[in-house]
Amino acid sequence: MPMSPAGASDPGVIWRRAARGLSLIELLVVLVIVATVVAGTVLSVSGSGEREVENAARRAQSLIRLACERALIGGRDIGFSVVRDGLRFGYFEIDGWHPRDDTGSDELRARPLGRDLLLAAYREGIALPLPDEPEREPAFACLSSGELTPFVLHIDRPDAQQRWQLEGSLDGELLLQQVQREQR
């Protein structure tokens, strides 16, 4: 008598087995898979504002750190400005400051930090206006001596519970921390 792929010699056994339905274990496995997919979806949607603010703050810290390292290693002062949507970098030359544009592969090209972000930049405790593009001279500089213009950068988003603060000190240190948002 021929054997079926399931190992049963009687074809009627296969039909009876299929007609029984799902076992409890199979049902639980399906429920676990569905619950995992739903939980992943909820987590990815619910915390997106928080994550975007944190990612923008870490990106700003990394870009400013890179600019300061380049200034120190290359012996060229690098300026940067905070604009409405992100950071703009440029090099100081004999004839003035030359901002980088958003083309090319230079890591210090014009960089937006993220969508729907609220940025606020402070120098010596005074809030700076945030134009769409940098003014004639940058607001901050990484000097080839290792010094940095002291600043505070707040990064926030309306739907986020926490905001991030990046603080640059004269000795070139960058401190990134999460701060409680003021009540509105």
For the stretch 121-160, pLDDT in tens is 999 999 998 887 776 788 899 999 999 999 999 999 888 8
* Model pTM above 0.75: no
User: Closest by alpha carbon to 113, among 135, 80, 146?
Assistant: 80
pLDDT of residue 4: 53
pLDDT at 43 over 70: no
- Given a cut of 70, is residue 5 above it in pLDDT? no
Residue 184 has pLDDT above 50, yes or no: no
Q: What is the pLDDT of residue 59?
A: 93
Predicted confidence at residue 183, as pLDDT, reads 56
Extended strands (E) in the chain: 78-83, 86-93, 96-99, 111-112, 118-123, 126-128, 140-142, 151-156, 162-168, 174-180
